[in-house]
């Protein structure tokens, strides 16, 4: 009796399983030809305006219309040195995300980015990339793990309104560090606002901006390459740069009262009209509009002043690459590269896409024509800009000092080895100079140099 009941139960279970399998097979057969791949993509930084989000969403819809088998889920994203590794380890990054030039190669070597070589080599414009730029996203074994989003040069952003209020000519930004210092003091004296402010948060931004200053004076943070690279943080130009900051902070008192600005904070402070001048990437205007609602009339941008008597003086340049999670399967990788092609690359090389992109941006009240550097070459950059000329809505006349000056400057890449560790070692030095009148700069630099050298030796 018992065994009969058990046999009946077993038969029922088997029958149910067979039925479920049949239903599943039928359903797969019905949808097999249009299997939808879902990818999540980095969209805008947290805190972006509703208009910016609407503009991004409209681009997603346009992409999904062209690629009906791909579903795109936008995810707010901001690369921060202090949180990226946590997201990477936790597996919470979107399928497509952005990383700075400095990190992609090492992340790729560590197997932490997907290999996109096969997919990206099929792109029609692949051969046209600037070799130096594509090298940033190529591993030591030649695998391509990231494509460029854009390149930037560091620039001096200034508030034209505060310049005018301080009796300075907004069309004549400073061209030397001495001038910058005196302008900063004049702005503070006349307006009560910070004449010059600087990022100094312990998230590597302090070291990044100090390195920019040191490059402009002709110094370098490293010599040599690879594991044999030598940290040279305690060079004379770093000392001179820190002394300049010390004078502006403690003698002139022209740097305001906040010395822990991070990337987003300083942009907000500048857009709010509380900062006369600050250094950031040349393409930051997009963020100033999309996240901080800047009044365009106050905005001015100029090249970083370079020391005239230093032959190595140059401007720090960098950029952003787009990469894919290493655990993305083949279908997701292919879909991700399609999105990268559509959203990041096509507008740079394809007239129709560039125009369409510009139209969408204008409709979404987002900036078109933000100063950047060529990802392919200068001729292609100029050509792409000529396509979108009718749509340019940024205050170009206010950007003239930068646009005319930047291509005359020597562009120097960021420290090649353990970049973020070098910046991280410099963060407390900048903080000490800005918060302690009696900071022992020489000792601080020696300590930072030891720390950076240790990171270089350990490949961190």
Partner 1 sequence: MAERDPKPVRYRARRTPVTWVRGGGLAALIFLLPMLFVFGAFSWYPIVRTAIMALQHTNLVQPATWVGLDNFRTVLHDPLLPTAVKNTAVFAGLALVFGYPIPLVAAVLMSEVRRLRGVFSALAYLPVVIPPVVAVLLWKTFYNGDATGVFNTILGWIHLGPYPWLQSQGTALPSLVLESTWANAGGTVIIYLAALTGVNSELYEAASVDGASIWRKVWHITLPQLRGVLLLTMILQIIGTAQVFLEPYLFTSGGPANATVTVLLMIYNYAFGNSLGGDYGSATALSLMLAAFLAIFSLAYLRATRSWSTR
> Site residues (CB under 8 A) for partner 1?
79, 81-86, 88-89, 99, 103, 106-107, 110-112, 200-204, 256-260, 326, 420-421, 424, 427-429, 431-432, 434-436, 439, 444, 447, 450-451, 460
Closer by beta carbon to partner 1, 282 or else 431 = 431
Give the residue from 132, 162, 161, 160 showing the smallest Cα distance to 148. Answer: 132
Which residues, in sequence order, are bridge partners of residue 299? 159
Q: How far is CA 185 from the centre of its chain?
A: 30
Which parts of 4-124 are beta strand (E)? 37-42, 70-75, 96-100
Nearer of residues 69 and 443 to partner 1, judged by Cβ = 443
Minimum distance of partner 1 from residue 265's CB (angstroms): 10
Decide whether 112 or 154 has the Cβ nearer to partner 1. 112
Shortest Å, Cβ 205 to partner 1: 10
Number of residues in the chain = 460
Cβ(192)–Cβ(424) below 8 Å: no
DSSP symbols for 381-438: HHHHHHHTGGG--S-GGGGHHHHHHGGGSPEEEPPSSSHHHHHHHHHHHHHHHHH-TT
CB nearer to partner 1: give 50 or 91.
Answer: 91
In the complex, the smallest distance separating the C-beta of residue 394 from partner 1, rounded to whole angstroms, is 30
Between CA 327 and CA 114 the distance in angstroms is: 7
CB of residue 161 to partner 1, shortest distance in Å: 19
Burial label for 46, CB within 10 Å (0-12, 13-18, 19+), is exposed
Whole-angstrom distance, CA of residue 278 vs CA of residue 198: 6
Q: How far is the CB of 111 from partner 1 (least distance, A)?
A: 5
Q: Token pair of 458, please?
A: 């350990």
| Residue whose structure tokens are 């989003």 | 149
Least distance (Å) between residue 181 CB and partner 1:
21
**Could you give the C-alpha distances from 291 to 100, 190, 272, 325, 339, in angstroms and in order?**
20, 29, 12, 26, 23
Radius of gyration over alpha carbons of the chain, in Å? 26
Q: Which is nearer to partner 1, 31 or 446 (CB)?
A: 446
Q: Given the complex with partner 1, which of 159 and 420 has the nearer CB atom?
A: 420
Contact at 8 Å (CB) between 196 and 174?
Answer: no
By beta-carbon proximity to partner 1, the closer residue of 30 and 90 is 90
Q: Which is nearer to partner 1, 123 or 452 (CB)?
A: 452
The strand ranges marked E within 43-197 are 70-75, 96-100, 146-159, 194-196
**Please, what is the minimum distance in Å from the beta carbon of residue 151 to partner 1?**
19
Task: Name which of 94 and 367 has its Cβ closer to partner 1.
Answer: 94
Min CB(247)–partner 1 separation in Å: 18
- Rounded to a whole number of angstroms, the minimum distance from the CB of residue 227 to partner 1 is 15
The distance of closest approach from Cβ of residue 177 to partner 1 in the complex, given in angstroms and rounded to an integer, is 24
Residue 269 or 388: the one with the smaller Cβ distance to partner 1 is 269
- Measured CA to CA in angstroms, residue 168 lies from 35, 164, 172, 347 at distances of 62, 5, 8, 38
The maximal CA–CA distance of the chain, rounded, in angstroms, is 103
């Amino acid at each position: 009796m018992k065994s009969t009941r058990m046999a009946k139960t077993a038969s029922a279970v088997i029958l149910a399983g067979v039925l479920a399998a049949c239903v599943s097979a039928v359903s797969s057969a019905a949808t097999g030809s249009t299997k939808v791949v879902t990818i999540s993509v980095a969209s805008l930084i947290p805190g972006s305006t509703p208009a910016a989000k609407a503009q991004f969403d409209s681009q997603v819809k346009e992409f999904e219309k062209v690629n009906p088998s791909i579903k795109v889920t936008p995810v707010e994203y901001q690369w921060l040195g202090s949180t990226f590794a946590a997201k990477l380890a936790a597996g919470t990054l979107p399928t497509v995300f952005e990383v700075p030039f400095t990190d992609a190669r090492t992340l790729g070597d560590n197997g932490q980015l997907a290999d996109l070589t096969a997919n990206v080599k099929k792109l029609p414009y692949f051969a046209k990339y600037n070799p130096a730029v594509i090298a940033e996203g190529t591993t030591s074994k030649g695998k391509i793990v990231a494509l460029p989003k854009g390149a930037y040069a560091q620039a001096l952003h200034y508030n034209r309104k505060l310049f005018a209020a301080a009796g300075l000519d907004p069309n004549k930004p400073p061209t030397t560090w001495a001038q910058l210092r005196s302008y900063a003091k004049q702005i503070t004296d006349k307006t009560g606002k910070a004449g010059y402010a600087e990022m100094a948060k312990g998230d590597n931004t302090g070291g990044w901006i100090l390195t920019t200053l040191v490059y402009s004076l002709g110094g370098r943070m490293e010599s040599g390459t690879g594991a044999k690279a030598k940290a040279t943080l305690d060079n004379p130009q770093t000392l001179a740069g820190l002394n300049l900051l010390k004078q502006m902070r403690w003698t002139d008192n022209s740097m305001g009262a906040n010395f822990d600005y991070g990337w987003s904070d300083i942009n907000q402070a500048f857009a709010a009209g509380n900062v006369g001048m600050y250094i950031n990437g040349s393409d930051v205007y997009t963020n100033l509009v999309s996240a901080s609602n800047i009044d365009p009339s106050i905005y001015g941008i100029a090249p970083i002043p370079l020391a005239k008597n230093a032959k190595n003086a140059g401007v720090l340049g960098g950029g952003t690459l787009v990469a894919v999670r290493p655990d993305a399967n083949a279908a997701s990788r292919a879909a991700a590269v399609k999105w990268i092609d559509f959203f990041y690359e096509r507008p740079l090389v394809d007239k129709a896409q560039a125009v369409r992109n510009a139209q969408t941006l204008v409709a979404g009240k987002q900036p078109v024509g933000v100063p950047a550097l060529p990802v392919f070459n200068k001729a292609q950059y100029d050509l792409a800009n000529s396509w979108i000329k009718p749509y340019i809505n940024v205050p170009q006349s206010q950007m003239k000092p930068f646009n005319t000056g930047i291509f005359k400057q020597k562009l120097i890449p960021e420290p090649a080895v353990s970049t973020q560790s070098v910046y991280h070692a410099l963060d407390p030095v900048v903080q000490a100079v800005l918060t302690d009148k009696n900071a022992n700069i020489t000792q601080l630099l020696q300590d930072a140099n030891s720390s950076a050298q240790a990171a270089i030796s350990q490949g961190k």
